[in-house]
Amino acid sequence: MHQRRPPRWGLARVHGRSMQPTLRDGDRLLLDHRRTPAAGDVAVVRLPGGVLAVKRLETYDGGWWVGRDNPDEGVDSWTLGAAAEAVLAVAVLRVWPRPGRLRRPAGADPDV
């Protein structure tokens, strides 16, 4: 049987403070379910236990790890373990309440 591809575009709402200052609780994001993820991207990932989260993608030892922009809040792969195969979509825009493109943090390799 032919498996259906997910729709290309979707929306997500940020909960919590782990991605501050880049994102705030309540921000709405435009997601691309078909974009190839890259290190430094903001993405929706499935964490252990099935929890969906908005995290910063990092590479470590050949796999995907998830990070947070706020070191004082939330969890990341250093506490949860690898998040390989768990990237569901890449966030491309914040659509509300402060519309704008999501950028990789300063110092991130633009060619990654």
Q: Kindly state whether residue 90 falls inside one of the protein's structural domains.
A: yes
More confident residue, 61 or 66: 66
Strand partners, 62: none
Q: Kindly state whether residue 33 falls inside one of the protein's structural domains.
A: yes
Q: Kindly state whether residue 22 falls inside one of the protein's structural domains.
A: yes
DSSP H helix total and E strand total for the chain: 1, 7
Under the banding of pLDDT at 50, 70 and 90, the label for residue 104 is: low
**pLDDT(54) > 90:** yes
**pLDDT(67) > 80:** yes
Q: Which two tokens stand for residue 97?
A: 């309440």
Torsion sign (Cα): 81, 85, 89, 91 = positive
- Give the structural domain span for 77: 9-100
H or E stretch covering 90: strand 87-96
CATH number at residue 84: 2.10.109.10
DSSP state of 61: T
| pLDDT score for 28 | 97
Q: Kindly state whether residue 112 falls inside one of the protein's structural domains.
A: no
Q: Which two tokens stand for residue 17?
A: 């403070």
